[in-house]
A and B are shown apart, each in its own frame.
Chain A
Amino acid sequence: MMVLTLFVILTLGFLVIRLMPGSPFDDPNYSAEMTRMLEEKHHLHEPVIVQYYYYLKDIVTGGYWGVSLNLEPMTPVWTVIGRRIPVTLTVNFLSLLIALPLGILAGTWAALYRNRWPDHVISLLTVLFISVPSFVMASLLQYFLGYKAGLFPLIYDAAGTEAVRLTSLVMPVLALSFHPIAMICRHLRGELSENIRSEYMITAQAKGLSLRQAVFRHAFRNSLIPVMNIIVPLFTNILAGSLVIERIFGIPGVGGLMTRSINAKDHWLTITVLFFYALIHLITVLVTDVSYGLVDPRIRLGGDRDD
């Protein structure tokens, strides 16, 4: 199934990219002759179907995905992407890892104090985090924390020391976390407040547990399952968010690569980046499926004395 999906994406990507007008060699500094020669060299003058055949053949027989044509000329595409994966994944995972506990904390708090002032404050912040586009948030962070307050480097400083590099990741990670924090918080609040009013909670409280104990022992875990459910879309969201965040903070990751490879018409690179994103997305779905077992006692075998 996964292979089929990836194949469909690859095909779609190829067709879209190749049916787009223009060639990677439309550089105004090239002579017409030069453009023609380069197109012939890269088989771009042949019918799309024939090109597709070459492309697939190269991948299947030699694992050869082509080279970048414009952005990093003559570098194999997976090398281009591979170099950038660590930084992108670091930023994305860090923001998810920060968003999860904060979102859960805020969500639980809001649910416990439903319709009292902590709930209202949290709800307001949540709405704000969801409502302001991430690139505006990022610009504001960059301007106020980075420039005015001078707390962090304005852009990712690849030439700096380990410590500098780490501090320069603070703002992008923050900018990426706002949205997931809000989403998790919203979701958890809804689930938890529903669970709190369910019968088993009433039973638990009847057994003598305080509300707080009952929430943490029972309702909390039951509410985490739906939260697990939204981690996939959240992670995809963060990945998509990093498309702009990486550009704003100059992070040399995969995110900035997509728009730039499209603009530079770096065909093989664009297709591979699309493929990469789809792959990550599918892997995340897989991981979530597996991780259900960790949280949901019904899925886990053997039961648990704790419950």
Chain B
Amino acid sequence: MKRTRLLFLAWAIVLGLSACGKAPAGTTAASEPASTEAPAPAAKHLRMPDGECQTFNPYLANTQDEMMNDFAQARLYRRFAKEDRKTLYMRPELAAEEPKQMDAEGKVWQIRIRPGLFFTDSQGNLTDKPINASVFEHSFKMALDPVLKQRAGDNMSIYITIVNAKEYFQQTPEAPVKWEDVGIRALDELTLELTLATPSTQMNVMQQFTGYGTVPTDPDLFTSLMANGATAYGTDHTKTLYCGAFYVTDWVKSSAITLKKNPNYVFADEIKITDATLYYVENYQTQLEMYLKGDLDSTALDAEIAPRYAEREDYLSYPARYLMQIEINRGNTKKPILDNMNFKNALWYAVDRIAMAKLEAATPANYIIPDTSLADSATGLLFRDTDIAKSYREDMTASYDPAKAKAYFDKAMEEEKISGKLTLELIISPATPEQSLCAQFLQQHLAEIFGEDRFELVIRENQDRANLMKTWRDDPNAYELCLSNWSRAVTDDSPFNVFDKYSEVYDLKVNAPYGNAFINETIFLQTTDPRVKTDQAYNAELAGRMEKEALENRLVIPMFERSFQYLVSPKLILPLEVPQPSMGFTLRPWLADLLP
């Protein structure tokens, strides 16, 4: 009996100990040292759901780390909302003014940096680490470092082409490139000079420096954490320095990031929120419940549940700027039908875009250039409203015609001499519910239209999807059909750039065997014809011609344009009243205000 009692006692002790003694990462959060800033009138604590932040190292950062980087890091230039809460404008942030053109052509640019800037640490203290031109130069060197091989190195030449930047990043021991030959140089303490390979506009130069791949990092800290060809910078909130509107006081991996307003930020007096917590909530339903319960100030909605909330006051729908489309590997030698025009027409007319869009809470699309692309950024004229775009666009109801689709399909089968059943494989990326839903819809829908005894779509979830598409040059039969929801950078309004990926000259992103001669030639103009980047009307005109070509040849089968749905608490005053084209993904909550 004694022993039983003893056992019970032991149990109670262990239970007590494990309950109290549990100290999951970052117990410092509660005992935050009293900050030095003046006592704020009232704490405004923002709680947002966020993707799973992976790293604070801006050069390794992924789109998932975007929100955190928006909160805690500043750039040279960034888009801010105007007073009227209607539009965004490009504003020098760490830069003192717009970049200055130093030559006639537009190949040499100088950027002035604000004087007297210093980094803030995770305690909120202003450090003695300055942010000046040589820090920026060093930051670019690190972002492009050929040994570290970080993500940012791949994205350094999206809007402008800096001399030798790509060559420096991709150099090999056999053909070394010296840093001195790269077109970024600190002239003096506050002046950064860029030398470009092709002429560019002021807007494009600023645009290039809005990305978080260009966030400055402290040279001492960054290099001191380097070992074995990797850097531990940003693997922890204490191993990072901050220059943005907030600094991070605690980071529990895959759970929560706690931020405090940075009193040393350039526009600190414009930031109204004092505290923020970014929660990683995997499940949309849980996010929604937390929002409805009042634990979050906004929530993203899943397409499946969004329609139920569409009439609420706090409902917001933002264009997402990407299209879901079927990509066809027309170079496949085993399935020559993929290059058959009749077959492609059959696919085009068989897709019920309206039904699919309803299923995914999206907008049906029989075009390639997203709705939000601007033809003229000064007047805000949308590309889809231009005459050229209207001239070739098919009526949405005419783009779905089962009878026509079936006729085309039969003709294609006859031409390719396929008497039995055609089985095609559709590759989707795993763990994306919208692709899975879309694929399952198509699987049944196409079989119904073409005849279940004549056509079968096999869905294959493939982790390897991106790689399959990259290796098509080596193996033309690497895939047959593929769902893609890729789009050009979300903040990139230019309709022209959408077609980069449909050309063979473009190797920055996923290539696919489109090989259309006209698009190749037109895309190539951007390196030879400066008007492409300077004359917006010309840019839109070319884009229109390319879209027409791509649609007529059915290079891809566009289906719908996704949008993002949110519920945003009425207490949260977002910097923009209504969603605007070119807003990108984020709601810019770091610029928001929170009513009590």
Question: A residues near B, CB below 8 A?
Answer: 20-23, 26-35, 37-38, 41, 67, 70-75, 79-80, 83-84, 86-87, 90, 93-94, 97-98, 100-101, 142-143, 146-147, 150, 153-159, 161-162, 165-166, 216-217, 220, 247-248, 250-252, 256-257, 260, 263, 265, 294, 304, 306
Which residues in chain B, 260-310, are within 8 Å of chain A measured between CB atoms?
A: 277, 279-283, 286, 289-290, 292-293, 295
Check if B286 sits within 8 Å of A73, measured CB to CB: no
Q: In the complex, A37 Cα to B467 Cα: how many Å?
A: 14
Q: In the complex, A43 Cα to B195 Cα: how many Å?
A: 35
Check if B253 sits within 8 Å of A83, measured CB to CB: yes
With A28-B466, A74-B235 known as contacts, the answer to whether A37 contacts B149 (CB < 8 A) is yes
Beyond A22-B462, A35-B467, 6 additional contacts (C-beta under 8 Å) are: A26-B463, A30-B154, A31-B507, A73-B57, A154-B286, A220-B4
Q: CB of B14 within 8 A of chain A?
A: yes
Which residues in chain B, 1-55, are within 8 Å of chain A measured between CB atoms?
A: 1-4, 7-8, 11, 14-15, 18-19, 22-27, 29-30, 52, 54-55
Q: Which residue of B lies closest to A262 (CB)?
A: B463
Closest-CB distance, B67 to chain A (whole angstroms): 15
Check if A71 sits within 8 Å of B11, measured CB to CB: no
Closest-CB distance, B317 to chain A (whole angstroms): 25
Check if B230 sits within 8 Å of A67, measured CB to CB: yes
Closest-CB distance, A220 to chain B (whole angstroms): 8
Q: In the complex, A143 Cα to B285 Cα: how many Å?
A: 10
Q: In the complex, A73 Cα to B292 Cα: how many Å?
A: 34
Q: Which residues of B sit under 8 angstroms from A79, Cβ to Cβ?
A: 235
Q: In the complex, A216 Cα to B7 Cα: how many Å?
A: 14
Most A-side CB within 10 Å, residue of B55, B57, B258, B507: B55
With A41-B149, A252-B255 known as contacts, the answer to whether A26 contacts B465 (CB < 8 A) is yes
Closest-CB distance, A55 to chain B (whole angstroms): 15
Check if A263 sits within 8 Å of B430, measured CB to CB: yes
Q: CB of B231 within 8 A of chain A?
A: yes
Q: CB of B525 within 8 A of chain A?
A: no
Q: In the complex, A161 Cα to B256 Cα: how many Å?
A: 13
Q: Which residues of B sit under 8 angstroms from A142, Cβ to Cβ?
A: 286, 289
Q: Which residues of B sit under 8 angstroms from A87, Cβ to Cβ?
A: 22, 24-25
Q: In the complex, A72 Cα to B24 Cα: how many Å?
A: 17
Check if B509 sits within 8 Å of A28, measured CB to CB: yes
Q: In the complex, A143 Cα to B170 Cα: how many Å?
A: 52
With A22-B464, A33-B507, A35-B470 known as contacts, the answer to whether A75 contacts B235 (CB < 8 A) is yes
Check if B1 sits within 8 Å of A159, measured CB to CB: no
Q: CB of B333 within 8 A of chain A?
A: no
Question: B residues near A, CB below 8 A?
Answer: 1-4, 7-8, 11, 14-15, 18-19, 22-27, 29-30, 52, 54-55, 57, 60, 62-63, 149, 151, 153-155, 170, 229-232, 235, 250, 252-258, 277, 279-283, 286, 289-290, 292-293, 295, 430-431, 462-467, 470-471, 486, 507-511
Check if A97 sits within 8 Å of B235, measured CB to CB: no
Check if A252 sits within 8 Å of B170, measured CB to CB: no
Closest-CB distance, A164 to chain B (whole angstroms): 10
Q: Which residue of A lies closest to B236 (CB)?
A: A75
- CB contact between A97 and one of B18, B29, B55, B250 (< 8 Å): that residue: B18
Q: Which residues of A sit under 8 angstroms from B465, Cβ to Cβ?
A: 26, 28
Q: Which residues of A sit under 8 angstroms from B1, Cβ to Cβ?
A: 216-217, 306
Q: In the complex, A29 Cα to B463 Cα: how many Å?
A: 14
Check if B283 sits within 8 Å of A21, measured CB to CB: no
Check if A250 sits within 8 Å of B286, measured CB to CB: yes
Q: In the complex, A100 Cα to B14 Cα: how many Å?
A: 13
- CB contact between A252 and one of B25, B155, B292 (< 8 Å): that residue: B25
Most A-side CB within 10 Å, residue of B24, B253, B279: B24
Check if A72 sits within 8 Å of B22, measured CB to CB: no
Q: In the complex, A161 Cα to B7 Cα: how many Å?
A: 32
Q: Which residue of A lies closest to B6 (CB)?
A: A294
Check if A158 sits within 8 Å of B54, measured CB to CB: no
Q: Which residue of A lies closest to B55 (CB)?
A: A73
With A26-B466, A34-B154, A41-B149 known as contacts, the answer to whether A86 contacts B290 (CB < 8 A) is no
With A158-B252, A159-B250, A263-B430 known as contacts, the answer to whether A75 contacts B232 (CB < 8 A) is yes
Check if A22 sits within 8 Å of B255, measured CB to CB: no
Closest-CB distance, B269 to chain A (whole angstroms): 26
Q: Which residue of B lies closest to A161 (CB)?
A: B30
- CB contact between B54 and one of A23, A72, A251, A306 (< 8 Å): that residue: A72
Q: In the complex, A93 Cα to B4 Cα: how many Å?
A: 20
Contacts A/B (CB < 8 Å), 17 sampled:
A20-B463, A28-B510, A32-B471, A34-B153, A67-B230, A73-B57, A73-B60, A93-B18, A101-B11, A154-B295, A158-B24, A158-B26, A159-B250, A166-B19, A250-B280, A252-B253, A306-B1
Q: Which residues of A sit under 8 angstroms from B464, Cβ to Cβ?
A: 21-22, 26
Closest-CB distance, A136 to chain B (whole angstroms): 14
Closest-CB distance, B365 to chain A (whole angstroms): 20
Closest-CB distance, A101 to chain B (whole angstroms): 6
Q: Which residue of B lies closest to A88 (CB)?
A: B24
Check if A158 sits within 8 Å of B256, measured CB to CB: yes
Check if A263 sits within 8 Å of B463, measured CB to CB: yes
Q: In the complex, A215 Cα to B125 Cα: how many Å?
A: 66
Closest-CB distance, A43 to chain B (whole angstroms): 12
Closest-CB distance, B18 to chain A (whole angstroms): 5
Closest-CB distance, A284 to chain B (whole angstroms): 15
Q: In the complex, A80 Cα to B52 Cα: how many Å?
A: 14
Q: Which residue of A lies closest to B150 (CB)?
A: A73
Q: Which residues of B sit under 8 angstroms from A252, Cβ to Cβ?
A: 24-25, 252-255
Q: In the complex, A265 Cα to B55 Cα: how many Å?
A: 17
Q: Which residue of A lies closest to B464 (CB)?
A: A22
Check if B254 sits within 8 Å of A256, measured CB to CB: yes
Q: Which residues of A sit under 8 angstroms from B463, Cβ to Cβ?
A: 20-22, 26, 263, 265
Q: In the complex, A216 Cα to B1 Cα: how many Å?
A: 8
Sorted from nearest, which 7 A-B pairs have the closest CB atoms?
A158-B252, A22-B464, A87-B24, A252-B255, A158-B255, A90-B22, A159-B256
Q: Which residues of A sit under 8 angstroms from B250, Cβ to Cβ?
A: 159
Q: Which residues of B sit under 8 angstroms from A166, Cβ to Cβ?
A: 19
With A31-B507, A33-B170, A38-B149 known as contacts, the answer to whether A155 contacts B2 (CB < 8 A) is no
Q: Which residue of A lies closest to B431 (CB)?
A: A263
Q: Which residues of A sit under 8 angstroms from B4, Cβ to Cβ?
A: 216, 220
Most B-side CB within 10 Å, residue of A41, A71, A83, A158: A158
Q: In the complex, A247 Cα to B207 Cα: how many Å?
A: 38
- CB contact between A71 and one of B2, B54, B230, B232 (< 8 Å): that residue: B54
Q: In the complex, A30 Cα to B153 Cα: how many Å?
A: 10
Q: Which residues of A sit under 8 angstroms from B230, Cβ to Cβ?
A: 67, 74
Q: Which residues of A sit under 8 angstroms from B256, Cβ to Cβ?
A: 157-159
Check if B277 sits within 8 Å of A159, measured CB to CB: yes
Closest-CB distance, A192 to chain B (whole angstroms): 14
Check if A154 sits within 8 Å of B293, measured CB to CB: yes
Q: Which residues of A sit under 8 angstroms from B507, Cβ to Cβ?
A: 31-33
Closest-CB distance, A3 to chain B (whole angstroms): 27
Closest-CB distance, A257 to chain B (whole angstroms): 8
Q: In the complex, A90 Cα to B1 Cα: how many Å?
A: 29
Q: In the complex, A257 Cα to B54 Cα: how many Å?
A: 13
Q: Which residues of A sit under 8 angstroms from B7, Cβ to Cβ?
A: 294
Check if A159 sits within 8 Å of B229, measured CB to CB: no
Check if B254 sits within 8 Å of A86, measured CB to CB: no
Closest-CB distance, A272 to chain B (whole angstroms): 15
Q: Which residues of A sit under 8 angstroms from B232, Cβ to Cβ?
A: 74-75
Check if A143 sits within 8 Å of B289, measured CB to CB: yes
Q: In the complex, A84 Cα to B24 Cα: how many Å?
A: 7
- CB contact between A100 and one of B2, B11, B430 (< 8 Å): that residue: B11
Q: Which residue of A lies closest to B258 (CB)?
A: A159
